[in-house]
Chain A
Amino acid sequence: EPEVTQTPSHQVTQMGQEVILRCVPISNHLYFYWYRQILGQKVEFLVSFYNNEISEKSEIFDDQFSVERPDGSNFTLKIRSTKLEDSAMYFCASSEGEPGYTFGSGTRLTVV
């Protein structure tokens, strides 16, 4: 069964550093998403991406964050100048359209 692949599975970074989280969505999917989940809390929407541009973003997705689809297969989330409170699981998801989303296994980001 096709899956969404995320790398790395775990990233530890120092506060103030930049990190790039990588995702390979399912090949025929057109819609891409990033979500995060702080330990013990609800999953939170960050951003959706369609047709090479951001289609929607949440209040969390401020200037510290950016997304890119640098080639036909990868979808990246960049977090500039990381803060302690950015520590969370970050999930990438993709879909052909509503309603079926497929989530990746996540990247656990730890900011120290």
Chain B
Amino acid sequence: KNQVEQSPQSLIILEGKNCTLQCNYTVSPFSNLRWYKQDTGRGPVSLTIMTFSENTKSNGRYTATLDADTKQSSLHITASQLSDSASYICVVSDSNYQLIWGAGTKLIIKP
């Protein structure tokens, strides 16, 4: 069954610190993997989209990695800011462009 699992479920870090969020998937065949940021009560906003051949992709302080062999991805946030507090959702698209959503990691940045 196609699944996307994220860890941790929630994370609290101090402002200015770095953190890494994990995503494991069993989706096959694979088309692309996306990371979204979702502020409370808002729609998801795309951070990165990676295809099979891409290992790393950056968007400002966000860097996503993809290991298609082990079916793992990570999202690294550098020098966190209070505005980074949100849920981060990993979404995998299969070859039929069906999106399989993870449950998200809720990140809280404390001053």
Residues of A at under 8 Å CB distance from B?
4, 41-45, 56, 89, 91, 93, 98-106, 108
Which residue of chain B lies nearest to A89 when distances are taken between CB atoms in the complex? B41
A104, B43: Cβ atoms under 8 Å? yes
A99, B93: Cβ atoms under 8 Å? yes
A45, A100, A106: which contacts B43 (Cβ < 8 A)?
A106
Residues of B at under 8 Å CB distance from A?
31-32, 34, 41-46, 49, 89, 93, 97-99, 101-104
A99, B34: Cβ atoms under 8 Å? yes
B41, B102, B104: which contacts A106 (Cβ < 8 A)?
B41
Query: What distance in Å separates the Cβ of A55 from its nearest Cβ neighbour in chain B?
Result: 10
A100, B46: Cβ atoms under 8 Å? yes
Which residue of chain B lies nearest to A55 when distances are taken between CB atoms in the complex? B97
B44, A98: Cβ atoms under 8 Å? no
Which residue of chain B lies nearest to A92 when distances are taken between CB atoms in the complex? B43
Query: What distance in Å separates the Cβ of B73 from its nearest Cβ neighbour in chain A?
Result: 15
Query: What distance in Å separates the Cβ of B93 from its nearest Cβ neighbour in chain A?
Result: 6
Query: What distance in Å separates the Cβ of B57 from its nearest Cβ neighbour in chain A?
Result: 12
Query: What distance in Å separates the Cβ of A1 from its nearest Cβ neighbour in chain B?
Result: 11
B43, B49, B98: which contacts A99 (Cβ < 8 A)?
B49
A93, A98, A102, A104: which contacts B93 (Cβ < 8 A)?
A98
B43, A98: Cβ atoms under 8 Å? no
B34, B41, B99, B103: which contacts A45 (Cβ < 8 A)?
B99
A103, B45: Cβ atoms under 8 Å? yes
Query: What distance in Å separates the Cβ of A94 from its nearest Cβ neighbour in chain B?
Result: 11
